[in-house]
């Protein structure tokens, strides 16, 4: 009868870096992955900030435009009223002559 086969990990199958150079390369690789992940998160964060600033600026400019448009509309109404009043005065003057 054959002896039972055991299945468990051996140190050789785990593959730890054997030399200090391999260990350093493994750590460097890990650091680079962390730096890249951090860089990606920072980029996303900065993009959101930029997007929010653009939205706020657009909203402010839209509000300015609407305010200018509203003021211009009021001025046009006032000018039209003044023109109408002057036309009436001209008519009155013509009638008296």
The CA-CA-CA angle for residues 79, 83, 88, to 5°, reads 150
pLDDT per position as a tens digit, 78-94: 999 999 999 999 999 88
pLDDT per position as a tens digit, 3-34: 565 555 554 455 655 677 777 778 888 999 99
């Amino acid at each position: 009868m054959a002896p039972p086969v055991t299945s468990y990990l051996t140190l050789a199958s785990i593959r730890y870096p054997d030399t200090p150079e391999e260990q350093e390369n493994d750590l460097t690789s890990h650091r680079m992955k962390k730096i890249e992940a951090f860089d990606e998160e920072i980029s996303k964060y900065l993009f959101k900030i930029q997007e929010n600033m653009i939205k706020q600026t657009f909203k402010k400019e839209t509000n300015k435009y609407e305010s200018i448009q509203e003021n211009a509309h009021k001025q046009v109404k006032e000018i039209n009223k003044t023109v109408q009043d002057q036309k009436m005065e001209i008519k009155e003057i013509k009638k008296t002559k």
